[in-house]
Amino acid sequence: MTTAAPRTPGILDAPPEDAVAWINAAGQHTLAERMGITFQEATPQRLVATMPVAGNTQLYRMLHGGASAVLAESLGSIGAVLHAGEGHIAVGVDLNATHHRAVRTGTVTGVATALHLGRTTATYEVVISDEAGRRVCTARITCAVHGRRGDR
**Torsion angles phi and psi, residue 97, rounded to 5:** -145, 135
| pLDDT on residue 25 | 93
For Cα atoms 135, 141, 14, give the angle at the middle one, nearest 5 degrees.
100
Do 139 and 96 meet the contact criterion of CB atoms below 8 Å apart? Answer: yes
pLDDT band, very low/low/confident/very high, at 10 (cuts 50, 70, 90): low
Which range (5-14, 16-25, 34-43, 111-120) has the least confidence? 5-14
**One of 17, 33, 41, 73 is an active-site residue; which one?**
73
Q: Is 131 a catalytic residue?
A: no
Distance CA 69, CA 81 (A): 18
Torsion of CA 44, 82, 91, 71, to 10 degrees: 60
pLDDT at 2: 42
Report residue 147's pLDDT band, with 50, 70 and 90 as the boundaries.
confident
CA-angle at 53, arms to 131 and 78, nearest 5°: 85
Per-residue model confidence as pLDDT tens digits over 54-109: 999 999 999 999 999 999 999 999 999 999 988 899 999 999 999 999 999 999 99
For strand 46-52 and strand 88-99, is the pairing parallel, antiparallel, or unpaired? unpaired
Show Cβ contacts of residue 98 under 8 Å, excluding neighbours closer than 6 positions.
137, 138, 139
Asked if 74 and 49 touch (Cβ cutoff 8 Å), the reply is yes
pLDDT score, position 47: 97
**Half-sphere exposure of residue 23, counting CA atoms within 13 Å on the CB side?**
25
The DSSP 8-state label assigned to residue 4 in this structure reads P
Model confidence, pTM: 0.88
